[in-house]
Amino acid sequence: MQDKPTNFPAAQPGGAPLKSITEVLLERRATNSFTDEEVPDEYLQAILKFGAQAPSGYNLQPWRFVVVRGEENRKRLQQAAFNQPKVGQAPVVIIAVGMKEEWKQTADEIFREGAERGAGNPATVEQYKQGALQFLSGFDPALWVNRHTMIAVTTMMLVAEAYGFDTAPMEGFDAVAVRREFGIPEEGEVVALLAVGRAKEPDKAYPGRFPLERIVSSESYGEAWKEK
């Protein structure tokens, strides 16, 4: 594994400052059509590296990503994504995959290294691993990898927005076709696609969100939460 990455671009391409967290969260819209303007490599690297900093249960990092940039490949991916035009248009589409089994092999390395870095006790690594194996055996593997992989995808989406790019998260794809076309192993759960690039048209209108009173409870489910 590696240390915290450094040397990220400090500004948007062209020099505008990075967007603030408020701008990132309020200006992001799911983008429907993209220009063919490239995402410069250093920005794509930054988006991926920040995404890889996402948290996961036991730090098992079950996510894997296939970065699709080749025109032919994007067209193939578009076919597997119910022909959504944005998949073929965007210069970059990231296929986010959650590996349902691989973590059982990598857990040792992760726990040992975590302990060496001071984030655990080297003497109890084996015990910790057995505890994790037992605890996680109670979860539906597809659900478990989805939970973690989407945090990384969300992180990438917000980082891309901070750098001034536009994104489109997608669940509209045939997972079997995506797996087959892009050589993804059988145990790989195709969790989402994330298109990154530049919007061709002005953002669509803000579609609205539930007020907090509808989605937040106080202390116990259904107990009124008052938005201040």
Are 87 and 193 in contact, with CB atoms under 8 Å apart?
yes
Number of residue whose CB is nearest ligand FMN: 172
Nearer to ligand FMN, 171 or 201 (CB): 171
Q: Applying CB under 6 A, does 211 fall inside the site for ligand FMN?
A: no
Query: Vertex 82, ends 81 and 84: CA angle to 5°?
Result: 75
Q: Which residues pair with 124 in a beta bridge?
A: none
Cα(182)–Cα(195) distance, integer angstroms: 16
Nearer to ligand FMN, 209 or 226 (CB): 209
Cα–Cα nearest to 160, from 90, 111, 105, 215: 90
Where does this chain touch ligand FMN (CB under 6 A) — which range of 43-51, 105-113, 137-145, 164-172?
Answer: 164-172
Q: Which residues in the 134-163 window bind ligand FMN by CB under 6 A?
A: none
Q: Which residues in the 46-65 window bind ligand FMN by CB under 6 A?
A: none
Q: Applying CB under 6 A, does 29 fall inside the site for ligand FMN?
A: yes
Cα(81)–Cα(197) distance, integer angstroms: 18
Binding mask 165-194 for ligand FMN (x = CB under 6 A): ----xxxx-------------------x--
Minimum separation from the CB atom of position 171 to ligand FMN (A): 4
Nearer to ligand FMN, 132 or 153 (CB): 153
* E-strand stretches of 46-106: 63-68, 92-99
Cα(86)–Cα(214) distance, integer angstroms: 33
Nearer to ligand FMN, 14 or 207 (CB): 207
Cα(43)–Cα(193) distance, integer angstroms: 18
Q: Applying CB under 6 A, does 30 fall inside the site for ligand FMN?
A: yes
| Interacting residue ranges for ligand FMN, rule: CB under 6 A | 29-30, 84, 169-172, 192, 207
